[in-house]
Amino acid sequence: MTDSVEANVNTSSKPSDLRITDMRIANLRGAPFRSTIIRIDTNQGISGYGEVRDGGSETYALILKSRLIGENPCNVDKVFRKIKQFGHHARQAGGVCGVEMALMDLAGKAYGVPAYQLAGGKFRDQILCYCDTPSRRDGKEMGMLLKERMDNGFGFLKMDVGIGLLKGVENALIAPPGMLGTNHIMHQFTGIQISNKGIDILCEYVAQVREVIGYEVPLAVDHFGHIGVESCIRLGKALDQFSLAWYEDMIPWQFPDQWKRLADAVDTPVCTGEDIYLKEDFLPLFENRAIAVAHPDLASSGGILETKKIGDLAQDHGVAMALHMAMSPIAALASVHCAAATENFMVLENHSVDQLEQWSSLVEGLPVPLIENGYIAVPEGPGLGFTGLNEDVLREFSDPGNPEVFASTEAWDNERAHDRLWS
């Protein structure tokens, strides 16, 4: 039996002898790419790839390098527990999560199995995608844009509906001086309220969209603006008539009691989670039945295995899981493997539909475009499932201020600190 297992291990020596020897990065800037790619190299000549979430700093990854050198990447959980203290909510988790993706890629390559197999196997062969679509101020025009998505095979849609559509409209918004121009103050502290006139305008906007696309395809809504929970409840009640798939991130995730108030007040599913790091901060939302859909981004939530745990925890509380994703095919494929391994998964986001072929061409060995008829097929190749990165695309989209891709990072080799969290 041992011989037959080892016959399928495609390495120059045993996976137990695999060691991390280097970590390098490539900064990509310009649509459809806006993130940092991580490459982890090993003593057996195989490399694994991950990605720092859009808006995150390369430093979040590089600070981990000296803590990774010499580790066996197949010990994914052990290494993750060693570095997870260096992540935090939202973009600050990008380094830890990107490293975890690369570890899963490496472990899968070492054992010759797809990453979903390392997460317990798969529940599905293809992953349903929804396309997030940029706003148009005219509802009929927005509806036609979404109808175009449907004609291209997408069976799940999302758009923005919020106070951004009301700026400049007299008597639609009530706000203290200067507050409408800020996005750095939490919703409940801005004092912004939406008037009945504003609510009526947004309802008419959604009605025009529904008139074009109908009711057979799910339509989620996002980006309501920095309004407090009371205005969210009033707006949510008014929009309930349109049977939307969910209201996303209406208020900050940090306040489960306010999410509970919102969930109890409206008849549409409410959804949050893209900025939550690790499963522990999802638990109050689940235990209070404060959301209907968990929406982690595995480039923030902890990577493939931690997000699989979040999905399982959600399922235990009767909550569905969708996945936020606005990055390159590397993070998308990591999300695909996680989604395949999570029973209560619903749908995966994509922000690059308008540049889909160019976006898909970053990775080699998989179909271009990667999304076909609204789905991504779960790759059966080892690790994340792609065979390499397209060097032409890397060069074309490299950061003009730092154009060299996967340059030496030896300056980070000897960074040291007393990391232990206990005395």
Specify burial of residue 246 (Cβ count, 10 A radius: 0-12, 13-18, 19+).
Answer: buried
Q: Cα–Cα distances in Å, from 289 out to 257, 285, 293?
A: 10, 6, 10
pLDDT in tens, 353-408: 999 999 999 999 999 999 999 999 999 999 999 999 999 999 999 989 888 999 99
Decide if pLDDT at 252 tops 50: yes
Specify burial of residue 354 (Cβ count, 10 A radius: 0-12, 13-18, 19+).
Answer: middle
What pLDDT was estimated at residue 2? Answer: 45
Mean pLDDT (the chain) is 95
366: closest CA among 374, 357, 268, 106? 357
Question: Span 75-96, mean pLDDT?
Answer: 96
Our separate counts of H helices and E strands in the chain read: 16, 16
pLDDT level of residue 7 (50, 70, 90 thresholds): low
Decide if pLDDT at 294 tops 60: yes
Strand ranges for 333-400 from DSSP E? 345-350, 363-364, 375-377, 388-389
Domains of the chain by range and CATH? 2-113+389-412 (3.30.390.10), 118-385 (3.20.20.120)
In angstroms, how far apart are the furthest CA atoms of the chain?
Answer: 76
224: closest CA among 190, 254, 178? 190
Residue written as token pair 């922000």:
351
What pLDDT was estimated at residue 362? Answer: 97
CA atoms within 13 A on the CB side of 68: 34
pLDDT in tens, 332-349: 999 999 999 999 999 999
- pTM score of the predicted model: 0.95
Residue written as token pair 């317990």:
120
- Please give the full DSSP string across 122-155, using - where no structure is assigned: -S-SEEEEEEE----SSHHHHHHHHHHHHHTT--
Q: How far apart are CA 155 and CA 149, in angstroms?
A: 8
What pLDDT was estimated at residue 244? Answer: 98
What pLDDT was estimated at residue 1? Answer: 43
**pLDDT-wise least confident of 10-24, 264-278, 298-312:** 10-24
pLDDT in tens, 179-191: 998 889 999 999 9
Decide if pLDDT at 10 tops 90: no
Instruction: Reduce the DSSP state of residue 211 to 3 states and report it.
Output: helix
| Cα radius of gyration rounded to whole Å, the chain | 22
